[in-house]
Structure 1
């Protein structure tokens, strides 16, 4: 039995708000196809470019934001993927339509890689005076390392268990979450010393202090990862431009894209869809208009 597009989205574990947004763009696309007598099952790349151009046209004198155009194209990429999986068509005409100017990363004030590494190297763990705890300092440096070297989100760090960090093999297994795939990432040499000290000593100290003896790599006696708030206050003492974990993750993914191919970065970042990785590429959305004008002139 064929499934509907909304059922497909639910099965892909998208958030309810995301599903609603995708369905709105889907309905607009279907209505446009009907008005032009195009069949979504057979529509080609060139015709999809016309729709992409339509998404950029002013409405009531106001030009749509770059972000909304990006979301509209992304929603249709997923719609065509759904059609392929349901055997309605054999290709995705929008697969290589990379409108990248609306990247969320640009709103994060990206950091240079040297700035990221400095967060780790400059993190204070010596001469910690009461009421501060040396074990807390080591823990926070370890968390900083996970963000800087593995690009982990706070959610991924929260779900790490002690068995996921293997110093002997030099890797970290990152479990999947609702939004990311599992992956195995290399432990970088600057991390080894602080990780070893934390695992051998400081983790147990913190477990005893809060009476929390679970397998969690970072002990917490609350569902909320409250350690992050105090950590970022310390990071801002190192670099005033630090905002949050999203900024750090966006910065390291953007750095990775300069070193590795996009599929490798997709794996390292845990992105379920290549489109999630593409938004970090440093290209301008205005290139789409030039592409339409140069390759497919419209009279």
Structure 2
């Protein structure tokens, strides 16, 4: 039994307000299609750009046009889901001039792995050595699971399930929870951290606060740890900019590995697929060429 576009959006956990807005925008698009004698199941990318031009003639601002496109993207995803189409012609379409998160100098999986393996943990001072061992565990979560700073703060001991080789990353206000696989070499470091390092650092800090946290500390303290990690890895790889640079690289590498937006959306913990679309590297690399060849706005 075929579902409606509204039901599709409900299933995707969009809010009532967002669904209402998307339906209004889609009705506007459908009215234009009818006037042009075009069927939604047949429209291609170039014809879709004519709708962008139409909105421009109606004095829509760039941000508003991109809002219309976001709704249309969801509608085409719905058509694909219902087997009315095999592609989404609006995928990656953004009006030129809109501020967009263009990603440069991304790090390959090999470079990210080298960051982990090259991270030093030996030191003659036992506290510093324990801190470095903790930092390497955290770096592993950054380069293999793409964990965010807030997720690090929320991570508790029960979320790291070594017997299953899994980590359960808890949800935050901005991200969904997910269960991800640990690399086999992470498990060894994690075992040592759980059995020795974690308790040592807790005793050293002489605090009973946040004992369930996997990495002890307030958000400012966790941010400080991440800043020190980034500063250290920069010493042997000057391309590293910050934590977000690492996470963006991880997500784009997932894109290349899986070629599945929904899969990457889950791995990254994105609440909405539009957040994941920003990391479609082919679209980002070809954005200027696409605009110059076809885009009606300059």
**So what's the TM-score if we normalise by structure 1?**
0.68
- Aligned counterpart, 1:87: none
Q: How many residues are matched?
A: 272
**Aligned to 1:238, what secondary structure does the other structure show?**
coil
- Which one of 184, 187, 190 corresponds to residue 185 of structure 2? 190
**Residues 205 and 104 from structure 1, CA distance in 2 versus in 1: closer, same or farther, beyond 3 angstroms?**
farther
Aligned residue for 1:269?
268
Q: 1:228 to 1:288 in 2, by over 3 A?
A: same
CA shift for structure 1 position 116: 0.5
Equivalent residues in 2 for 1:81-96 (5 A)? 96=88
Which secondary structure does the structure 2 equivalent of 1:184 belong to? strand
2:40 alignment partner in structure 1 = 44
Aligned counterparts of 1:57 and 1:111: Cα–Cα separation in 2: 39
More helix by share: 2
Going from structure 1 to structure 2, the CA distance change for 1:29 and 1:91 (only over 3 Å counts) comes to same
Equivalent position to 1:258, from 235, 256, 259: 256
Structure 2 residue corresponding to 1:151, chosen from 125, 146, 150 = 146
Determine helix, strand or coil for the equivalent of 2:167.
strand
5+ long unaligned stretches in structure 2: 1-9
1:108 to 1:290, Cα distance in 2 relative to 1, 3 A: closer
Q: Which residue of 1 aligns with 2:116?
A: 120
Tell me the C-alpha RMSD between the 2 structures. Answer: 4.6
- Please tell me whether residue 240 in structure 1 is matched to residue 238 in structure 2: yes
TM-score for both structures, normalised by structure 2: 0.69
Q: CA deviation at 1:178?
A: 2.4
Q: Which runs of 5+ in 1 are unaligned?
A: 1-7, 85-89, 294-299
Q: What does residue 4 of structure 2 align with?
A: none
- Give 1:142's match in structure 2, choosing from 127, 137, 140: 137
